[in-house]
Structure 1
Amino acid sequence: MGDGLLRPALRRQRGRLTAGVAFLCLHQAAEAMVPVTIGVVIDRAVATSDTGALLLSLAGLVVLFTVLSLAWRFGARFSTAAKEHEAHLARVRIAERALDPCGQKSGLRDGELLSVAASDADRSARAIRTVGAAAAACTALLVSAAALVMVDPGLGVGVLVGVPLVLMGLQRLAPLLTRRSEAQQASLAETSALAVDLVAGLRVLRGIGAQHHAAGRFAAASRGALTDTLRAATTKGLHLGLTSTVNGLLLAAVTGAAGWLALNGRITVGELVAVVGLAQFIAEPVQTLGWCVQSLATARASARRVARILHTAPAVRPGTESAPPPAGERIVLSDLRYGTLTGLNLRISAGETVGIVAYDPRDAEALLAVLAGTVPREDYRGTVRIDGAPAESLRLTQSRRVVLVEPHDVALFEGTLRENLAAGGAGDDGTLLAAIRVAAAEDVLHHNGLDQVLTERGANLSGGQRQRVALARAVAAAPPVLVLHEPTTAVDAVTEALIAERLTEARREPPQATVMVTSSPALLRAAGRVLVLDDGRIRAEGSHDDLVSAEPTYREAVLR
């Protein structure tokens, strides 16, 4: 799976990659020629005391180092650009997949998705630089071997045979490196996900005195991540140690052989200097190839995690049809069976306000999930129709333009109040201010109006203010059908009654349907009809006052 992600990445960046590889290979070839050039200078200028040859040789060295420097500069620039462009593309694709209205079945939590986008996307893109580094290292070895062959065929053949054998031996550790790198990344992502969950629920944890238990869970997860990290580091250290050891042995063998040849008069002093310099230089590309093995193993492990997100099936497979013309009955649920729902029948007409009281919270969650379009068609039985068309036949964006489900859990973002309210689709300030009035959230405007800055998750607002801002955002979107789930649990009774009055008035013209899944008496009293959801189906229907008089269980559930 990881290789299937890396190969297309290399193809996408082939232009920058080709340029980067060409310059890096030129750099390594020029660097390999440095000891050779010095050896030639010794034999043809220093040993012969030829001043003209010495000056010419020095000029040649200046040119060589200029080429070497510029080739590295441009090679690194093109390779880094290719890597960063691919990392950016991977992050964007991960974000698109995570934010896809259809959802995804990767099973990763928010913190894990964040870890993949921030860390694994970058690590997987390093494969591009690894390819360039490996090509440059191979070029260095080939040029060095060719130079050694010209000095003595035995030395060149020894390098050409010895280095591949060394690399084949080091490659044996690559699968283990990949597995341990993948385990390390998974542990770190799990720890990040737990941290995100704990920070999000910190107030609740403090309220129930469970922060010490939460800290213990995080410490245990962190210890597991530490263990996996140390295991990966141990394997990498072993690989690096073996690479360095073999490097040293190869250097000693080449240098020793060259020294023996020089003592026997088979090579000159300049050639000896060139061979010793090349032997020292060869250690660098061999070390680089060892690093490439590690880097590629890590990149493949991260690519598998990225591919898990990009290639996972969508949670919901939407249809392809556009929304039909508005019908008198905007939503019709017939014999719906999902979760704890056991044959629910529900009709929501245009312009009406309906209250739904669910004795079992699981019934409410199941109903909201179906109305929000987050349940795959194969997971429920019965039919769901929007404006007369089967919900599964419509594009998800089309169905959600008709039905907007505002969940109980408030999600506000760092930014201005205007930006948070406009996220619902509304534009001009007049619409936003009218929605704030409907939600009785005028107190949020007291400091800077719509330019009031909200911190992350709206932490600088009270619980009631956050609920009212979220309600205002939903009202500002003006959906034909607005579904609210307990929108006023953090609001006092007087404000709650004001919201109920303003909400029904605001959505009366043009006629828009409002469904309130709630146990609030103020909201239920404002509803045109109230449905009682019990044991997975509608058990009673009527006005709030009639149900209070006739249904003892209803009375106990809603009166507080």
Structure 2
Amino acid sequence: MTLSGRITVGELITVVAMASFAGEPVQRLTAGIKLAAIARAGAARVAALLDRVERASTADLSSRAVEGEVRLRGGGIEVDVRAGELLGVVSVRPEVADSVIESLRGPGVLVEPHAVHLFGRSLAEALDTGRGGDPSRALAAAQAAEVSTALLNGGVNLSGGQRQRVALARALAARPPVLVLRDPLTAVDAVTEDAVAEGLAALRRDAADGGASAGGGAGGTTVVVCTSPPLLARCDRVVFFPGDRPPITDTHARLAGDADYAEAVLR
């Protein structure tokens, strides 16, 4: 059109510039419409899921779990976990460990998964359980007090061991009647592992003693599914699932004489 003389070179440049200027906003608008459609569909699925979730009733909150008593099932046995007890679970078969954890889920039970997910832009936000209170004791017990207070993208600036310790501190700060942990210390060194095991056991036993002295259930019950000798050594009892034999319940020290148990946990 410019060559034919219908528009001038200046008019052509103006049209091209306007098209370039308007292109990015139009692309953003198109992308926004697409994201809105995805968000709407996702929100509908979340709402449908929440509609199916049974909320804990007042009756649920007076259950044995809230009092700190639960029943462990798996590998063909049932074990009553006493209020305030620190119980270890060792299984050579992961599927048995999974079934044990599933059997413990319920009102008053916090199951902290092995995979760590941290939320918030700071350590304080990551530890906010909605219950208030000072998380300093939980941080100290988990040996996480020195961790950076700033979290980038869910804690990508932290090492694997630091992320595990922050997640453990968050679980301890929640002060659940029953806490279930799955391999919480696989990414820390031996010295830190022993210190965290000592801090965890002491803090949960304090929680049990505090609940009992308040006149309620003891609470402070902890089930640790792991192969960590420092953690298992501090457990009141350990349930061992050998795989090819019936499960055995005893202390870590006594089970250490069992060849299969020793192979599973001793390093």
- Asked if 2 retains the 8 angstrom alpha-carbon contact of 1:343 and 1:537, the reply is no
- Cα distance change on mapping 1:553 and 1:420 into 2, 3 Å: same
Task: Using the TM superposition, give the Cα deviation of residue 311 of structure 1 relative to its aligned residue in structure 2, in angstroms.
Answer: 4.2
Give distance in 2, aligned partners of 1:538 and 1:472. 35
Match of 1:346 among 75, 79, 82: 79
The one-letter amino acid of 1:330's match is: E
Could you tell me how far apart the structure 2 residues matched to 1:536 and 1:332 are?
23
Q: Residue 119 of structure 1 corresponds to which residue in structure 2? A: 37
Verify the 8 A CA contact 1:332 1:346 in the aligned structure 2.
yes
Partner of 1:552: 259
- Counterparts of 1:209-220 in structure 2, within 5 Å, are none
Mapped to 2, the partners of 1:358 and 1:557 lie a distance apart of 8
1:427 maps to 132
User: SS of the counterpart of 1:546?
Assistant: helix
Residue 460 to residue 345, structure 1, CA distance change in 2 (3 Å): same
Q: Are 1:329 and 1:347, in contact at CA under 8 Å, matched by a contact in 2?
A: no
Deviation at residue 355 of structure 1 after TM alignment = 0.6
- The residue identity in structure 2 corresponding to 1:368 is I
Q: Tell me, yes or no, if the aligned pair for 1:415 and 1:453 is still in contact at 8 Å.
A: yes
Q: Deviations for 1:518-547, whole angstroms, at most 9, x for unmatched residues?
A: 000110011111111244996101111110
Letter in 1 for 2:230: A
**What code does the residue aligned with 1:332 have?**
R
**What secondary structure does 1:479 align onto?**
coil
> Which amino acid is 1:425 matched to?
G
How far does residue 425 in structure 1 lie from its aligned partner after superposition?
3.3
- The one of 71, 81, 92 equivalent to 1:332 is 71
C-alpha RMSD of the superposition: 2.9
> In 2 relative to 1, CA 121–351 (structure 1 residues): closer, same or farther, beyond 3 Å?
closer
**Quick check: 1:322 aligned with 2:60?**
yes
Pair 319,419 (structure 1): closer, same or farther in 2 beyond 3 Å: closer
Between the aligned partners of 1:555 and 1:361, the Cα distance in structure 2 is 17
1:366 to 87, 99, 124: 99
Counterpart selection for 1:405 from 111, 116, 124: 111
Paired AA for residue 372 in structure 1: R
Q: 1:313 to 1:411 in 2, by over 3 A?
A: closer
Counterparts of residues 349-498 of structure 1 (less than 5 Å): 349-373=82-106, 399=107, 402-422=108-128, 424-428=129-133, 431-445=134-148, 452-498=149-195
Instruction: Name 1:299's counterpart in structure 2.
Output: none
Give the distance between the partners of 2:103 and 2:246, measured in 1 at CA: 16
**Counterpart among 493, 496, 516 of residue 224 in structure 2:** 516
Question: How many angstroms apart in 2 are the aligned matches of 1:329 and 1:508?
Answer: 12
Quick one: which amino acid aligns to residue 238 of structure 2?
A: V
Does the 8 A contact of 1:344 with 1:536 survive in 2?
Answer: no
Name the SS of the counterpart of 1:408 in structure 2. coil
Q: Deviations over 1:290-319 (max 9, x none)?
A: xxxxxxxxxxxxx6x865554468675456
What's the CA shift for 1:121? 4.4
8 Å Cα contact 2:88/2:239 also seen in 1: yes
In 2, the alpha carbon distance for the partners of 1:496 and 1:307 equals 43
Secondary structure at the residue paired with 2:62? Answer: coil
Give the conservation status (yes or no) of the 8 Å contact 2:160–2:187: yes
Task: Give SS of 2:135's match.
Answer: helix
SS of match in other structure, 1:453: coil
Instruction: Indicate the structure whose relative CO is greater, using CA pairs within 8 Å and at least 6 residues apart.
Output: 2
Q: Which structure would you say has the larger Rg?
A: 1
Instruction: Name the CA distance, whole Å, in 2 between partners of 1:426 and 1:313.
Output: 22
C-alpha spacing 1:494/1:317, structure 2 compared with 1 (3 Å): same
Shift of 1:343: 2.8
- After superposition, give the CA deviation of every residue in 1:215-251 in whole Å (9 maximum; x if it has no partner): xxxxxxxxxxxxxxxxxxxxxxxxxxxxxxxxxxxxx
Q: Which runs of 5+ in 2 are unaligned?
A: 1-31, 209-219
Query: Within 2, Cα distance between the matches of 1:476 and 1:557?
Result: 30
How far 1:119 moved relative to its partner?
3.1
Instruction: Measure, in 2, the Cα distance between the counterparts of 1:357 and 1:541.
Output: 10
- Number of residues paired by the alignment? 223
Query: Structure 1 313/459 Cα, relative in aligned 2: closer, same or farther at 3 Å?
Result: closer
> Separation in 2 of the partners of 1:470 and 1:528?
24
Seen in structure 2, the aligned counterparts of structure 1 residues 472 and 542 have a Cα distance that, compared at 3 Å, is: same
Q: Distance in 2 between matches of 1:509 and 1:471?
A: 16
Contact 2:71-2:104 within 8 A present in 1 as well: no
Distance in 1 separating the partners of 2:101 and 2:51: 19
Alpha-carbon distance in structure 2 between the residues aligned to 1:408 and 1:464: 12
TM alignment of 1:205-244, pairs within 5 A: none
List runs of 5+ in structure 1 lacking aligned partners: 1-83, 88-114, 123-302, 374-398, 446-451
Measure the CA separation in 1 of the matches of 2:235 and 2:70: 17
Determine the structure 2 residue equivalent to 1:542. 250
Q: Is the 8 A contact 2:112 2:171 kept in 1?
A: yes
- Aligned counterpart, 2:29: none
Query: Equivalent of 1:501, from 192, 195, 198?
Result: 198
Cα deviation, residue 495, structure 1: 0.6
Contact 1:363 1:536 in 2 (8 A): no
Residues of 1 paired with 2:239 and 2:102: CA distance? 18
Matched, 1:527 2:235: yes
